Structure 1
Amino acid sequence: MSAYTELMAFQRQTEALGQVAGRLGWDQVTMMPDGAADQRAEEFAAMEGVLHARRTDPRIGAWLGKIEAGGLDDVAAANLRHIARSYERSQRVPAKLAEALAKLSSQAQRIWSEARAKEDVAAFLPALEEMIVLKREEATALANGGNAYDALLDDYEPDTSGDDVAATFDAMRPRLVALRDKVMGAEQPAPLSHDFDEQKQMRLARALAKTFGYDMSQGRLDKAVHPFSSGSGQDVRITTRTALNDPFNCIYSTIHETGHACYEQNIAPEHLLTPLGAGVSLGVHESQSRIYENQLGRSRAFTGWLFGQMKDAFGDFGVADEEVFFRTVNRLNKGYIRTEADEVQYNLHIMLRFDLERDVLAGKLEARDLEEAWNTRFEADFGYAVDRPSNGLLQDVHWSCGLWGYFPTYALGNVYAGCLYEALRVARPNLDTELAAGELAGATGWLREAVQVHGGLYKPRDLIERASGQAPGEAPLLSYLDSKFG
C-alpha cells in the first residue's frame, strides 16, 4: 500500500469523525433538551480532543514526506495541499487549547441565547471575555509571529489578509453609502402588515428549497434561532426561522441556507469524506447562498413567480400586484439585524463587525468595551441608535461559538456572487424567462458545474476566476446594485 493510499484512508476516518462532530452541533440548536447543555459541552471537548490528535498525528508528517509530489494528478495534489496545511496549522495549537475552545463554544452558545432572550449583555460578558482570551491565544499560536487576525481569517478564507479585506471594503463603502442615501431618500413601499400562519410558512419554505435544487432525501429543514446549514455529502441539513408578521424572514433565510446546502450536496461524489469534499472557503460558500438569495431569489423575474406562490399559500395578503411585491421584497429600511438587511446595506453591517474584530484581536478593545463600541459605530454608520442588545451586540451567534475572523467572508461572498452573476447571465441568456416560470434548474445547474462540483479542488480566488472569467473584484457587485436599486 502506497503512502498516499494510507494517508487518504486515515484522512477519510478523520473527515467522518468531523461530520459526527458537526451533527452534535446541529442537534444542539435544533433538538437537544435544555438540560443536556453541560454534558454536550463535555462531548464537544472529547470529540475535539480526538480530532486534534488525528490532525497532528506524526504519521501524517511521515506519509507526506514519502509521497513524490511530481507524479500526482490534480486531485491528489489538492488533497495533499489541504492535508499539509491542516497538519501544519493544527500542530501550532496545543491540544488543551483546542479542547477548551470546543467546550467553551458549546457553553457560550447557550449563555448567548439566554442573554439575548433577556436583553442582558452582562450575563454574556464572562463567557465573551473567556472566549476572547482563548481566541487571542489561538491566534498567537497560529500566527507564529505574524498578524493574529490574519491567522484566524485564514481558517475561513485562505490566502486572504485583513489588509486585503480592508482595501476591498474601503473601495465599496463610499458607493454603498451614496446608493443607500439616494434610495432611502425616495418613497419606499409599505412593509407587509398581515399575519402569516407559521406552519404555512414552513410548507412554502420546504417547497422553495426543492425548487432551488435541495435534495430532501439527503437533508431536512428545521427551525433555529439563527439559521444555518450543516454537513456535507449525503447528509446536509438546513434551518430557518419564522416570524408571524414577516414571511420574508423565513423565505429568504431558507433560500440562503439552500444555497449553502446545494453547494455541499453537489460536490462530486468521488470527493466524499476527503479534504475536497466540502466547500473550499466560507467566501465561496457565501457566494452560493447570496446568489441564490439575492440575484436569483430577489430578482424581478423570480419575485413575480413567488407572488403567485404567496397568494396560493396565504390568500390576499395586501399587496396589489407583482411590481409592488418586487419593490416590497427589496425595500430599503432602517433596521438593525444583519441577516434581515437589504442588499445595499448588508455589507455595511459586515464592515462594522470586521473592524471591531480586528481591534479586539489587536488588544485595542476588550469584552467590556464591545457594546459601547458597537453602538457608537452603528449610529455613525446608519444614523440611528441601537435600541436594545438583541439588535446590537447580542444579535449574532458567531462570537459566542468562537467564529472570529469569519464575518468578512459574508461580504467576500457578495463580491464573488457579483462576478458569478455576470457570467451566469451570459451563459443563460433566457435567465429571466426561466426565473419568471419558477424554473431554477438552468441557473443552479450552471452554478453546480462552474463552482459546486469542484469542492476543494481549486483555491478560492482561482475557482471564482475559472467560473466567472475574471479575477474577483467588487466592481460587478457594485454595478449590479446600482442597476437594481439606483
Structure 2
Amino acid sequence: MTAFDNLMVFQRDTQALTEVAGRLGWDQETVMPDGAGPQRAEEMAAIEKVLHARRIDPKVADWLDAIETDALDVAAAAQIREIRRAQERAQKVPVELSTAIARATSAAQRKWADARAADDFVAFRPVLEEIVALRREEAAALAGGGDLYDALLDDYEPGASGTEIQAMFDAMRPRLVRLRDAALGASHQPEKVIGTYPAKRQMRLARKLAQKFGYDLNNGRIDKALHPFSSGSGLDVRITTRTNPEDPFNCFYSTIHEVGHACYEQNVDRDYLLTPIGRGASMGVHESQSRIYENQFGRSRAFTGWLFGQMEQRFGYAPASNPDAFYGTVNRLEKGYIRTEADEVQYNLHVMLRFDLERRLISGHLDVADLEEAWNARFAADFGYDVDRASHGVLQDVHWAVGLFGYFPTYSLGNVYAGCLHQALRADLPKLDSKLAQGNATYATAWLSEKVQRHGALYAPKEVIEKATGQTVSVEPLLSYIEAKFGEIYRL
C-alpha cells in the first residue's frame, strides 16, 4: 500500500469515531435520560481525547510527507488538504484543552436547557464563563498572535474573516431595515395564523414534507428536540424538529430547514463516505442548502399553494382564508424575539446582533457578566422593543452553551449563498413554479444535489458556490429577491 492508501485507511477510522461522537450528541438532545448528563460529559471527553490523539499521530505527518502531491487527482488532493488542515489545527491545541472543552460543552447543554426553562441567565452564567474562557484559550492557541475570533470562525467557514463578515453585514443592514420598517408600517397586512394544530398531525405532515424535499428516511429519522438540528453523514443522517399547537409553521419550516442540511449529507458522493471530504464544504454552504429549501422553495407562492391544500385535508382547515392569503400568512413579518422563527427580512438582523456580541466576547471586550444587559440593549436598539425574558433573549439559542463561537455568521453567509444559487437555479429550471405547485420540490433539490451537494468538501466554500452559479458571490441576488418578494406581499 502507498502512503496515501495507509493514510486514508487510518483516516477512515478517525471519521468513523467522529460519527460515533456525533451520535452521542444526537442521543443527548433527544432521548438521553435527564440524570445521565455528568456521565455523558465524561464519555464525550474520552472520545475527544482519542480523536485528538489520532489527529496529531506522528504517522499522519510521516504519510503526508511521503505523498507526492503533484501526482494526485482533484479528490485525493482535497483529502490531503483537509487532513493537513485538521492536523495543523489539532497540533496547536493541547489535548487537555480540547478534552476540557468537550467535557464542559457536553455538561452545559442540559444546564442551558434548565436555565432557559427557568428564564434564569444568572444561574447559567458561571457555566458560560467557563466555556468562553476555554474557547478564548483555544482561539489564542490557534491564532498564533492573529485575530482570536477569526481563528474560531475558520472552524465553520474556512478562509472567512470577521472583517469580511462585517463588510457583508454593513452592505445588507440598511436595505433590510428599510424594508422591514416599510412592511411593518404598510396599510396592507397579511392575515395572522388562526386555529390550533395537534402535534401528532403536524409530525405526520412534517414527515411527508421531508420526503417531498428528497430526504431518504431509509437512512434517516425525524425526532423532536428543544432546538431543531441535523446530525450525521452518509448512510445515517438524522434530523429533529419541534411542535407548537398554535404555530404549525414552526414545525413545518424547521423540518424543511433541517432536511436541507440532511439532504446535503445524504447526497455527497458515496465514494467519499467516511473521508474528510465526505461532508459539507462549510457551515455557510450547509446553511445555503437549508435556507434555500426553507425559504426560496418552501415559502414560495407555488409551494405554499400546495401546502394550503395539505393542511385543509389533514386538519380540516388552514391558517388563512385562501391560498393567496396563506402565502402572505406564511411570510408575514411579525415583531418577535426568536431567530429561528424570524421571517426572511428580519432573520439576518438577528444574526448580526449575535455576531457582534460573540466577537466582543471572544476578544475580551465584553464579559459574560455583562452579556444579558448588552443583548437587551442591542435588541432594543435594533428592533425597537424590549426583551421580556431571558428565553426570548440571551438564552434562546444553544450555540454558545455548546461552544459554537464563530458559527452564527454562517447563517447569513448561507442566506447570501442561497440567493446566488436561487438566481442560477431559476435560470436553469423554467418549470420550477409549476413543479413546486404540485408539491414536487425534488425538481429543484436535484439541481442542488448535482451542482453542490454531491461534491461534499471537494472544493473551498466560495468555490462551491461560484462553480454552481458561474458568478462571483454577492449579496445582491439575495437582497433583490427579498425586496421583490416582500414588496409584492405588502403592496409597497
TM-score by length of 1: 0.99
Question: What SS does structure 2 have at the residue aligned with 1:484?
Answer: helix
Alpha-carbon offset, residue 189 of structure 1: 2.2
CA deviation vs aligned residue, 1:19-68 (integer Å, no higher than 9, x gap): 00000000001010001111000000000000000011111111110111
- Alignment partner, residue 370 of structure 2: 369
Q: 1:437-476, aligned counterparts within 5 Å?
A: 437-476=438-477
- Partner Cα distance (1:171, 1:320) in 2: 38
Please give the secondary structure, in 2, of the residue aligned with 1:348. Answer: helix
Distance of 2:444 and 2:220 partners within structure 1? 21
3-state SS of the aligned residue for 1:344? coil
Show CA shifts across 1:140-172 (max 9, x none): 001011100000000000011000000000000
Q: How far, CA to CA, are the matches of 1:101 and 1:370 in structure 2?
A: 21
Aligned partners of 2:192 and 2:320 also within 8 Å: no
Aligned to 1:91: 91
1:47 equivalenced with 2:56 (yes/no): no
Aligned equivalents of 1:226, 1:325: Cα separation in 2:
26
Shift of the 356–130 alpha-carbon distance from structure 1 to 2, 3 Å rule, reads same
- Pairs within 5 Å for 1:149-188: 149-186=149-186, 187-188=188-189
Q: Which amino acid aligns with 1:266?
A: N
Question: Which residue identity lines up with residue 471 of structure 1 in the other structure?
Answer: T
C-alpha distance in structure 1 between counterparts of 2:440 and 2:110, whole Å: 40
SS at match of 2:459: coil
Quick check: 2:308–2:318 contact (8 Å CA) kept in 1? no
Q: Is the 8 A contact 2:244 2:250 kept in 1?
A: yes
Structure 2 unaligned regions, length at least 5: 488-492
Distance in 2 separating the partners of 1:432 and 1:21: 41
What is the CA-CA distance between 1:473 and the residue it aligns to?
A: 1.1
Structure 1: tracts of 5 or more residues without a match: none
* Within-5 A mapping of 1:60-99: 60-99=60-99
The alpha-carbon deviation at position 94 of structure 1 amounts to 0.4
Could you tell me which residue of structure 1 aligns to residue 490 of structure 2? none
Within 1, Cα distance between the matches of 2:292 and 2:97?
37
Residues 364-409 of structure 1, C-alpha deviation per residue, up to 9 Å, x if partnerless?
Answer: 1011110000000000000000010000000000000010000000
Mean alpha-carbon deviation: is it higher for 93-102 or for 184-193?
Answer: 184-193
CA distance in 2, matches of 1:399, 1:278: 23
Instruction: Please report how far the alpha carbon of residue 441 of structure 1 lies from its aligned counterpart in structure 2 after TM superposition.
Output: 1.9
* Partner residue, 1:131: 131
Instruction: Please name the residue that 2:114 is paired with.
Output: 114
Output one character per residue of 1:175-202: Cα deviation in whole Å (capped at 9) or x when no partner.
0000111111113223213110100000
**1:469 and 1:179 mapped to 2: Cα distance?**
29
1:212 is aligned to 213
Q: Which residue is equivalent to 1:380?
A: 381
What corresponds to 2:242 in structure 1? 241
Cα distance, 1:318 vs structure 2 = 5.0
Deviations 1:102-156 (A, max 9, x none): 0001111111000000111111001000011001000000101110000000000
Contact kept? 2:319, 2:326, Cα under 8 Å: no
Paired amino acid for 1:67: I
- Which position in structure 2 is the counterpart of 1:143? 143
Contact 2:225 2:241 in 1 (8 A): yes
Do the aligned residues in 1 keep the contact of 2:191 with 2:328 (CA within 8 Å)?
Answer: no
Name 1:189's counterpart in structure 2.
Answer: 190
Q: Determine the C-alpha separation between the residues in 2 that align with 1:26 and 1:162.
A: 30
Report runs of 4+ in structure 1 exceeding 4 Å deviation: none
Matches within 5 A, 1:24-35: 24-35=24-35
* Alignment RMSD: 0.6
Given that residues 191 and 325 in structure 2 are in contact (C-alpha distance below 8 angstroms), is that contact kept between their aligned partners in structure 1? no
Where in structure 2 are the equivalents of 1:406-417 lying within 5 Å?
406-417=407-418
Distance in 2 of aligned mates of 1:317 and 1:425: 29
Q: TM-score, normalised by structure 2?
A: 0.98
CA shift at 1:320, angstroms?
1.2
Cα distance in 2 for partners of 1:124, 1:472 equals 39
